[in-house]
Amino acid sequence: METGDEVRRRCRSVRRWSGKRCALAAILGTIAASAVATAVTVVLRPVRLSFSITDAMSWHVAPGAIWAFNVTVANPSRRAGVHYLLLSVSMQYLTPNGSSWVLESGAPTPCYQPPWNTTSFPMAFCITKEDNLSELGRVNTSVPMNPYVKARVRFKVGPAYTKPYEITVLCNHVYFANNESSSASSHSHQRVHVHPPVNCTGTSP
């Protein structure tokens, strides 16, 4: 039969081993949690999207004009889709008489782009007879434009979403061909040839 001293020594030994097991379990739990967090971060990291302006064309619609084009976005990820919360384009038009107009357009949102996919979002800027053409001056569709694209997106991998990211890119020197054949009395418009795509640069996640 154990004496009192022997029982106390055995209890102290059990407590020491229990403490070691608890410490080891805590360390292993921390390592496992870090591994899971790292894996989630890698899977849900943002994708660098490529923006370009494609199919840029213009019409004279007497007495105004239309600039039409696509904002084409390439998603190179094979896992992450893109959920667009906002996609808009603004462009400043400088007239020959020194006036300045800010033109704006946008795509219907929200919308979704699948992984490993290239999507074109149609946009158009219009100046019509309802606008103040006396301030605008003669509409010239042959000058290069610099569309400014802004997007707010969340990336989606399986059921999980990232936080929202803001993307801003500038598309320098987009040329819209000029159509001089329309007249102020004509209600028709003519399509002109399409210029090569213009890649955009700026901040993307």
Verify that 116 and 161 share a domain, yes or no. yes
- Residue with the two structure tokens 């357009």: 105
CA distances from 144 to 44, 67, 94, 121, 173 (A): 38, 11, 10, 20, 5
| Identity of residue 125 | F
Q: Are residues 71 and 171 in the same domain?
A: yes
Each residue's pLDDT expressed in tens, for the chain with a length of 205 residues: 555 565 456 555 545 545 556 555 555 555 544 433 333 344 467 889 999 999 888 877 776 778 889 999 999 999 999 999 999 999 887 766 666 778 899 999 999 999 999 999 999 988 776 665 555 556 666 778 899 999 999 999 999 999 999 999 999 989 886 655 444 334 444 545 567 899 999 876 7
For residues 174 and 147, give the distance between their C-alpha atoms in angstroms, rounded to a whole number.
Answer: 8
Same domain? For 73 and 153 the reply is yes
Whether residue 160 sits in one domain with residue 76: yes
**Domain containing 169: what range?**
50-203
CA distance 200 to 72: 10
Q: Are residues 22 and 86 in the same domain?
A: no
35 and 14 part of one domain: yes
Rounded to whole angstroms, the Cα distance separating 174 from 123 reads: 14
**Tokens 């936080």 sit at which residue?**
163
Q: Domain check: are 93 and 138 in the same one? A: yes
CA-nearest of 2, 79, 16 to 47 is: 79
Same domain, 171 and 95: yes
Per-residue pLDDT, 134: 55
CB 50 within 8 A of CB 199: yes
Report the alpha-carbon distance of residue 39 to residue 115 in Å, rounded.
Answer: 19
pLDDT of residue 196: 86
Residues 35 and 79 in one domain: no
